[in-house]
Structure 1
Amino acid sequence: MSADSPEPTSHDAATAESGPVAPTGRRRSRRSRVIEHGLEWVLFESRWLLAPLYIGLIAALVVILIKFAEELVHLVTHIFEETPDDVVLGVLSLLDLALLSNLVLIVILAGYENFVSKIAVARDAEDRPNWMGHIDFSGLKMKLIGSIVAISAIGLLKDFTDLGTSEALDNTALTWRVVLHVTFLISGIAFAFSDWLGEKRLMLSQQTHSND
């Protein structure tokens, strides 16, 4: 060892014995990745909190079925006592409940597949509906608004059929029902137009990238 070289200190000796010290920034980065992974896992698994909501909708579907059976029994047992207008109203009530049950079923199946998990048991089933697995959030939104407009139209038709009877609505209530139905209709058209614009913009973007 030359005379000019400094003698090793006790700190240098301890460092040589313990090996190289990992940088503090690297330790923090590793800790951040662990925290980030845990947070993302919690966020991703939180989608299962929606499952009880869809189970509750199944219970609502059972309630609709019970009311449908009640309306059907009443219609059949009083078939010879009711007027043709009463029969029309009874059938419209059944249609209203049927459309409502379709709406609930669409929300259950499409919502579960879009936001929770794929339904594996229905993947190879012969009776699987054609729309399952092909409805995204935009398609689900359009089916919902379409069902709501149809239900509102049936309710409005029932109100007009009741005109001249004791169960008829007054002019103010009937006007608000018409306004509500028109609002649903305009909302459906606006949703469809916005989806069309989105698809058009996506097609233009794809064409631009393909030309580049």
Structure 2
Amino acid sequence: MNGIGRGIEAVIFNSRWLAAPFIFGLIVGLAGLLYKFIVKLAEFVLHLKDAPNSEALVGILSLVDLSLTANLILIVICSSYENFIRPINPADHPNMPNGLIRIGFAVLKQKLLGSIVAITAVHVLEWFMDIDHTANTATLAWLVGVMIAFAVVMLIVATADRVSDSGANKDH
């Protein structure tokens, strides 16, 4: 390979570092979500004594929703770093959870879609639990429809990945 080709290859290969600011942006977003979680937790604890059971459940579901979203962001941060910036050596990080390293694209798609379905399900449940205060059945129907759509997409993607994996295994 000539010098021009190597130079072009180096520019292309090193352009992966342009994704690093996006990852840092997600880290800032995760910190902002932590702030929202702490505020929501404080509100929840302060109002828990006088809150009816349905409002307590909605408060808990709100916390679960924020936690699932934080987990989703963390998965994206770690997998993006490892897949596009630099590989992570598990030996250098013995306490790192296995679910944050060695995440291939197929597994990432399934984790992302699974998290989105779970977050959507929590929203639907949260809405349903608070239906006495917001009796808008059209909105609830849309929420359920979106959740079902995400679940169907997740099943289609998982099936496609399984079919492509079994096809790839037959070729080898």
Give the TM-score band, short-chain normalised. Answer: over 0.9
- Matching residue of 1:93: 62
Query: What TM-score do you get using the length of structure 2 for normalisation?
Result: 0.95
Indicate conservation of the 8 Å contact 1:103/1:144, yes or no: yes
Indicate conservation of the 8 Å contact 2:82/2:102, yes or no: no
Q: Spell out the pairing of 1:144-183 with structure 2 (5 A cutoff).
A: 144-165=112-133, 168-183=134-149
Q: Out of 103, 114, 117, which is 1:135 matched to?
A: 103
- Matching residue of 2:78: 109
| Root mean square deviation of aligned Cα | 1.4
**How far did 1:119 drift?**
3.1
Could you tell me how far apart the structure 2 residues matched to 1:136 and 1:60 are?
23
**How far did 1:138 drift?**
1.0
**How far did 1:114 drift?**
0.6
Could you tell me how far apart the structure 1 residues matched to 2:164 and 2:80 are?
21
Could you tell me how far apart the structure 1 residues matched to 2:165 and 2:102 are?
16
Could you tell me how far apart the structure 1 residues matched to 2:162 and 2:93 are?
32
Q: Which has the higher helix share?
A: 2
Structure 2 counterpart SS, 1:126: coil
Structure number with bigger Rg: 1
Could you tell me how far apart the structure 1 residues matched to 2:127 and 2:166 are?
40
Could you tell me how far apart the structure 1 residues matched to 2:15 and 2:102 are?
24
- Matching residue of 1:79: 48
Indicate conservation of the 8 Å contact 1:99/1:151, yes or no: yes
Could you tell me how far apart the structure 2 residues matched to 1:134 and 1:146 are?
18
Query: What TM-score do you get using the length of structure 1 for normalisation?
Result: 0.77
The letter of the residue matching 1:187 is V
Runs of 4+ in 1 over 4 A off after TM superposition: none
Q: Out of 33, 38, 41, which is 1:64 matched to?
A: 33
The letter of the residue matching 2:18 is L
**How far did 1:164 drift?**
2.0
- Matching residue of 1:7: none
Aligned residues: 172
Mark the runs of 5 or more structure 1 residues left unpaired by the alignment.
1-29, 207-212
**How far did 1:169 drift?**
4.9
Q: Spell out the pairing of 1:13-24 with structure 2 (5 A cutoff).
A: none
- 1:112-167 Cα offsets, whole Å, 9 max, x none, are 101111235x53323111123321111111100000000000000011111122xx
Indicate conservation of the 8 Å contact 1:68/1:97, yes or no: yes
Change (3 A) 1:123 1:169: farther
Name the % identity.
37
